[in-house]
Amino acid sequence: MNIENFINSPPDRGRNVTAKEHNLVVKFAKKCLREICKKNYELPVTYQEAVEGLTVRTKFKRQCSYAFASDGAIMIDIWELRENYRRFEEYARFSKDSVIGDISDAPPEMIIFAIVAHEVAHHVQYKYGPKTRWLKNSYQKPHGEGFQAIYRILRSRVVNHLIIPKEEVA
């Protein structure tokens, strides 16, 4: 599959999701993959292989977004974008974390970016964790150490600087 097929994959876009909304989610997923596929993170995959190994699905149903461990896909519900939602609440165990915690008063596009980063972190956790030296022993738990390590990279390197003023970024 080439990158154009990845971007314009109509069956992966809900009937009530515009191409522009879907492509925004795909763009964010690709930015996350580009970062996490850098050599210093030692994933057993190139960026191109990672793009080909991820299916991005979008919907507008006012439901949860999630990652499918079994088929290499993420499902992003764009309701926060569509409804101008400006807050992102993380799981209680790390909601207060200065890097991967809750986000307040951010543009809806950045809320979606954080959600995409969260789901891409799950995708990487399950797809590449067992074959990655620094994740082998910690990738199994859904929001455990392995997930948080990946998510911390994505939020700190790709997402947060677009949301939080530079002097506040950890």
The residue extents of the domains of the chain are 3-162
Q: Are 169 and 156 in contact (CB under 8 A)?
A: yes
Q: Is the pLDDT at 109 greater than 90, yes or no?
A: yes
Residue 134 and residue 42: Cα distance in Å, rounded?
8
Neighbours of 49 (CB within 10 A): 13
Residue 69's pLDDT is 79
Count the alpha carbons within 13 Å of 107 in the hemisphere toward its beta carbon. 9
Provide the pLDDT for residue 1.
Answer: 46
Residues facing 73 on adjacent strands? 55, 68
Averaged confidence pLDDT in the chain: 91
Contact 54, 74 (CB under 8 A): yes
Q: Is the pLDDT of residue 78 over 90?
A: yes
Which pLDDT score is estimated for 158?
97
pLDDT (0 to 100) of residue 116: 98
Q: How far apart are CA 39 and CA 112, in angstroms?
A: 26
- 116-144 pLDDT, tens digit per residue, is 999 999 999 999 999 999 999 999 999 99
What average pLDDT does the segment 5-25 reach?
Answer: 81
Number of H helices, E strands in the chain: 7, 3
What pLDDT band is residue 163 in, cutting at 50, 70 and 90?
Answer: confident
* Domain 3-162: CATH class, spelled out: alpha beta
Whole-structure pTM value:
0.90
